[in-house]
Amino acid sequence: MEQNNPQEQKDRKDSNKIYFLIAVIVALLGTNAYLFFKDKKANERIVTLTDERSQMEMEIDKIETELDKSNNSNVVLSKQMKEEQELARGKIAELREQLQKGKLTQGQLEKAQQDLKQLREFVAQYAADIEELKKKNAALTMERDSLQTTVGNVNAKATELERQNQELNTKVKAAAALKVGDISVIPLRVKNNGKETEVNRANQAKKFRINFTVANNAIAEKGMHDLYVRLIDPAGNLIVTNNTGMFIIDNEELQYNYKTAIEFANDGKMYTVDWTNPNAFQTGTYNVILYADGYIMGKSDVSLR
């Protein structure tokens, strides 16, 4: 039997050790390479997640800015729009909170991206609704302004028609008022036996007889008309008697000396009014003014020596 050389056995053992060491080194190199590539891949993934988070944060800022811009449109929001806006802001706050926690799992990131997509679509629709609402408001404002202009024009026209109607009524009223045709004032002396004679001296006169006719007036109301008489003495003062009263002419209150009524039939007849002076007449000129239907009917004067 062939015997192994001790030297050969020694060399063989040394050779096995070398192979073992080489195998260990190769295994270590493989492990290190695996760990290196694993860490590199993980680091790249972390970097990718970080970039995506930053991008999402920027997108959220943009979405929130668009939402704020829509709310600064001076448009009155409906109850539903207000509720939708609150939901959107709540979702924005929720996404910010998730992103600020730090590392996200792939599932969390995908969920956040999906929420962000829905939020982006909502804000876009919300902004479109705001613009539509602004257009409707603008149309309503134009319609309101147009209606106000129309109403203003109608009111102005109505006011002008009312003014013209009042003027017409005033003119008709003035035209319908009785006017004197002929008028004369005769001073009379009254004797003890009741006989009356015309005089021209103040110390003889006791009363004035006013004779007048009414001018033809087809639109004047037929029937009884109040007649007011004002007698002004030579000094320019109204002669005050127990029969003195007040009446309205052209929205002005005046005193009268005598009041009676005449029946108008538009027949041209003569009317007579006697006024007795309770005091003595003075020399000078007396003015006699007749009023009817709110206007001066006519006037005359008479002088006494």
Q: Are residues 22 and 77 in the same domain?
A: yes
- Residue 145 within a domain: no
pLDDT at position 8: 60
pLDDT, greater one: 265 or 125: 265
pLDDT at position 1: 46
Tell me the average pLDDT of the chain. 79
- Residue 172 within a domain: no
pLDDT, greater one: 38 or 73: 73
Q: Are residues 66 and 129 in the same domain?
A: yes
- Residue 125 within a domain: yes
Q: Are residues 90 and 209 in the same domain?
A: no
- Residues, the chain, total? 305
DSSP 164: H
Q: Are residues 11 and 90 in the same domain?
A: yes
Over 50: is that where the pLDDT of 21 sits? yes
**HSE (side-chain half, CA atoms, 13 Å) at 128:** 6
Over 90: is that where the pLDDT of 64 sits? no
Q: Which of 87, 304, 79, 113 is nearest to 199 (CA)?
A: 304
Tokens of 281: 């007449």
Q: How far apart are CA 31 and CA 113, in angstroms?
A: 36
pLDDT, greater one: 108 or 87: 87
pLDDT at position 189: 92
pLDDT at position 105: 66
Q: Which of 262, 195, 186 is nearest to 222 (CA)?
A: 262
pLDDT at position 45: 47
- Residue 167 within a domain: no
Which class for 15: exposed (0-12), middle (13-18), buried (19 or more C-beta within 10 A)? exposed
Which range has highest mean pLDDT (97-111, 176-190, 244-258)? Answer: 176-190
Q: Which of 71-75, 82-86, 136-140, 222-226 has the lowest mean pLDDT?
A: 71-75
- Which pLDDT band, with edges at 50, 70 and 90, does 170 fall under? confident
Could you give the percent of the chain with pLDDT greater than 70?
A: 77
Distance of CA 97 to the CA centre of its chain: 48
* Total of domains in the chain: 2
- Residue 171 within a domain: no
- Residue 13 within a domain: yes
Average pLDDT over residues 1-9: 56
Final residue before a domain boundary, out of 101, 135, 169: 135
| End-to-end Cα separation, the chain, in angstroms | 201
- Residue 216 within a domain: yes
pLDDT at position 46: 42
- Residue 19 within a domain: yes
Over 70: is that where the pLDDT of 30 sits? no
Q: Which of 189-203, 238-252, 266-280 has the lowest mean pLDDT?
A: 238-252
pLDDT in tens, 38-55: 544 444 444 345 677 777
Which class for 280: exposed (0-12), middle (13-18), buried (19 or more C-beta within 10 A)? exposed
Over 90: is that where the pLDDT of 108 sits? no
Tokens of 110: 């995908």
Q: What is the pTM of this model?
A: 0.52
State the virtual CA torsion across 293, 295, 298, 300 in degrees, nearest 10.
120
What domain range is 259 assigned to? 180-304
pLDDT in tens, 264-293: 999 989 999 999 998 899 999 999 999 999
Could you give the percent of the chain with pLDDT greater than 90?
A: 30
CB 112 within 8 A of CB 167: no
4: left (phi over 0), alpha (psi -120 to 50) or beta: beta
Q: Are residues 95 and 190 in the same domain?
A: no
Q: Are residues 195 and 126 in the same domain?
A: no
pLDDT at position 185: 94
Q: How far apart are CA 111 and CA 98, in angstroms?
A: 11
CATH value at residue 205: 2.60.40
